[in-house]
């Protein structure tokens, strides 16, 4: 079984792509709705909450967990992997949604020899829209620079966007917010538009078309759920010990109110998703 963890239900957009890509695998999703959102929480608190969520999924039988939350991936993933995982859960693995995006932008595999990969390529600019905490972590610029120093990364925090999406705000209000953030990015890029932008929050794919409309024609908008699904399939090919097909079952857990979350989840998952309390 593959676990998928998120601070809320934005990660359902990732789960949807994972299940579509690996329909014979069993998935267990956990949303920490009681503590959402993570975007403005202190780093130590994000780490503690992420560790607790991953532990719950391991306790339920997951052998591999995907952090379907950019904030958790940016702030907590490396520390979990380096200082906690092998001691607490030897033989288990935790992956994040940050890695596939970095690989897509740089063309350099995550586990490649970074020093050997530092070959000058064509200079280009990439924009990143994300939560305030993901932006403050500097994870995307840091990892991209280590692999492709010729790529200029410009970030734009979007603090109002997740609350608007989760509240199912009128589309016009969401579009106005997206336009505001797109204009903010373009102001800092006065010389030329980026070649691509990364939607660095799992909520944002639900309004990807609004980003496309708000940006100059020709700017590529990278799909995080699809890239994560492609990356996981490649990972399972390299690590067959985690490639354990089941019955294609998908289960949903929440730390919040199951009835309220179930009512909201369909929009993110694309079909009914009944949550139980963990």
Least confident range from 7-11, 72-76, 105-109, 118-122: namely: 118-122
Per-residue pLDDT tens over the stretch 63-95: 999 999 999 999 999 999 999 999 999 999 999
Tell me if residue 69 is catalytic.
yes
Measure the CA–CA gap between 12 and 119, rounded to whole angstroms: 37
| pLDDT of 115 strictly over 70 | no
Q: Which helix (H) or strand (E) holds 185?
A: helix 171-188
Per-residue pLDDT tens over the stretch 138-179: 999 999 998 899 999 999 999 999 889 988 899 999 999 999
> Residues 69, 102, 177, 273: which is the catalytic one?
69
Sign of CA dihedral 223, 199, 182, 37: positive
Domain architecture of the chain: domains with CATH? 2-96+225-277 (3.40.50.1860), 100-223 (3.40.50.1860)
Highest mean pLDDT (candidates 12-26, 115-129, 182-196): 12-26
Rounded percentage of the chain residues whose pLDDT exceeds 70:
95
Residues 6+ apart with CB under 8 A from 228: 14, 17, 18, 66, 68, 97, 100
Measure the CA–CA gap between 145 and 90, rounded to whole angstroms: 31
Burial code of 127-166, b = ≥16 C-beta within 10 A, e = fewer? bbbbbebbbbbebbbebbbebbeebbbebbbbebbbebbb
Per-residue pLDDT tens over the stretch 220-271: 999 899 999 999 999 999 999 999 999 999 999 999 999 989 988 988 999 9
Residue 121 pLDDT level (bands cut at 50, 70, 90): low
């Amino acid at each position: 079984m593959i676990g998928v963890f998120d601070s809320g239900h934005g990660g359902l957009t990732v789960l949807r792509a994972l299940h579509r890509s690996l329909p014979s695998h069993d998935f267990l999703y956990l949303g920490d709705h009681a503590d959402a959102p993570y975007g403005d929480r202190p780093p130590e608190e994000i780490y503690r909450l992420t560790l607790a969520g991953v532990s719950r999924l391991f306790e339920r039988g997951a052998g591999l967990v995907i952090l379907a939350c950019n904030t958790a991936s940016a702030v907590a993933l490396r520390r979990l992997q380096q200082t906690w995982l092998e001691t607490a859960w030897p033989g288990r693995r935790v992956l994040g949604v940050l890695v596939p995006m970095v690989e897509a932008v740089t063309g350099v595999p995550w586990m490649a020899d970074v020093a050997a990969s530092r070959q000058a390529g064509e200079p280009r600019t990439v924009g990143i829209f994300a939560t305030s905490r993901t932006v403050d972590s500097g994870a995307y610029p840091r990892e991209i620079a280590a692999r492709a120093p010729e790529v200029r990364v410009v970030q734009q925090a979007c603090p109002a966007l997740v609350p608007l999406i989760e509240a199912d705000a009128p589309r016009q209000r969401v579009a106005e917010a997206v336009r505001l953030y797109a204009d903010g990015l373009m102001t800092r890029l006065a010389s030329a538009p980026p070649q691509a932008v990364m939607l660095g929050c799992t909520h944002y794919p639900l309004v990807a078309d609004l980003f496309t409309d708000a940006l100059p024609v020709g700017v590529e908008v990278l799909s995080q759920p699809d890239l994560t699904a492609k990356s996981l399939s490649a990972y399972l090919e390299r690590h067959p010990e985690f490639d354990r097909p089941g019955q294609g079952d998908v289960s949903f857990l929440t730390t919040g109110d199951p009835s309220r979350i179930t009512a909201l989840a369909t929009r993110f998952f694309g079909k009914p998703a009944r949550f139980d309390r963990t």
